[in-house]
Amino acid sequence: MKEYLETYKGNILEVTFGKEDKTITLGGENTLSFHSFEGKLPHPPLIALEVWDSPPETWPEHLRARFGDVVFSPVAWAKKCLEVYRADLICLYLTSAGTEDVDVPALASRVKELSDALPVPLIVYGVGEKDADTRALKEIAGACAGDAVLLGPVVKENYEEIGRAALEYGHRVIAQSPLDINLAKELNIKLSKFFPKERIVIDPLSSALGYGMEYSFSVMERIKQVAVIYTDNMMKMPMIANVGRDCWKTKEARENAQQGILWEAITTLTLFLAGTNLAVMSSPDSMQLVRKMITQLS
């Protein structure tokens, strides 16, 4: 029986971050997710484990217990994620950036310490408050000059300030828009007027299973399709899904350890199928489960 395969003219840009011998590349595919029989998938989907710059007081105990006392030290926490749990990357969540008494230069110095201590590139996420993130990420950009950190979120209210700081100091940025493909494209257009497209990663926002995941899936799937199938140059950046934080806020994940692991794993795998290139997770157990499923899909 004859096989009918689709080939496409478009592709996803490669975005490389990290310095010297510890670089990571996202994207590069010219087909849809896991469609290796139809095109090239040069870089597999990656998983970063989340590390907070302060102990995660809001986490349920069954999640926090997987890390023990290392949650009091971001460097020790990150090393456990890499050396014990074998995460691909580390994503630092700047929980302290939104506090009134934050010492921003000191915060940036701690981020630099973490960046230097890791054998892999660093992802840094702010708290999602435009003014707080602008102050913190601009300072971090300078402190980590030359480290090619992946910084975010960059939103329509602060893309120019953070983007120009990232450009000056050699970083990559995460362009975040609220679950709307048109808003994602609009932000990419504005940002790419002065910032290289090959240094942008799209975050269309991700929601947890049962809390709007279908919207996340739909937007990510459309972004991938318009880039690969319809060759839209302003949507060709790889995507990131910041999954863990939203999943472990849900009552389902908080009330039962096994249910929480499955909640995060199902959400992550679904968004990988939609087209994301990089997922940020919280639970190492969820991460291992997703890796097993990815191996089967591949």
pLDDT of residue 5: 86
**Given pLDDT bands bounded at 50, 70 and 90, which one contains residue 249?**
very high
pLDDT of residue 279: 98
Whether 1 is covered by a domain: the verdict is no
Whether 3 is covered by a domain: the verdict is no
Q: Backbone phi, then psi, for 216, in 5-degree steps?
A: -60, -45
Whether 7 is covered by a domain: the verdict is no
CA-to-CA distance for 120 and 70, rounded, in angstroms?
19
> Tell me, what CATH number does 155's domain have?
3.20.20.20
CA-to-CA distance for 228 and 127, rounded, in angstroms?
32
Q: Enumerate residues 6+ apart whose C-beta is below 8 A from 1.
A: none
Whether 244 is covered by a domain: the verdict is yes
**Given pLDDT bands bounded at 50, 70 and 90, which one contains residue 2?**
low
pLDDT of residue 119: 97
Q: Backbone phi, then psi, for 64, in 5-degree steps?
A: -60, -35
Among residues of the chain, what percentage have pLDDT more than 90? 95
- Beta-ladder partners of 154: 175
- Beta-ladder partners of 239: 202
Whether 5 is covered by a domain: the verdict is no
* Residue bearing tokens 């926090």: 64
Of 253, 246, 244, residue with least CA distance to 279: 244
pLDDT by residue (tens digit) across 159-189? 999 999 999 999 999 999 999 999 999 999 9
pLDDT of residue 297: 78
Q: Backbone phi, then psi, for 15, in 5-degree steps?
A: -120, 115
- Mean pLDDT, residues 36-44: 95
pLDDT at 1 over 50: no
pLDDT at 205 over 60: yes
Among residues of the chain, what percentage have pLDDT more than 70? 99
* Residue bearing tokens 């020790």: 76
Q: What is the DSSP string of 87-135?
A: -SEEEEE-GGGGSTT--HHHHHHHHHHHHHH-SS-EEEE--S-HHHHHH
Q: Enumerate residues 6+ apart whose C-beta is below 8 A from 81.
A: 49, 51, 87, 90, 284
How many domains does one find in the chain? Answer: 1
Whether 136 is covered by a domain: the verdict is yes
pLDDT by residue (tens digit) across 102-113? 999 999 999 999
pLDDT at 67 over 90: yes
Domain that holds residue 135: 15-297
Cα 24 vs. chain centroid, distance in angstroms? 13
Whether 158 is covered by a domain: the verdict is yes
**CA distance to 39, 71, 222, 277, per residue, from 8 (Å):** 8, 45, 15, 18
> Residue 153, preceding bond cis, omega within 30 degrees?
yes
- Mean pLDDT, residues 37-48: 96
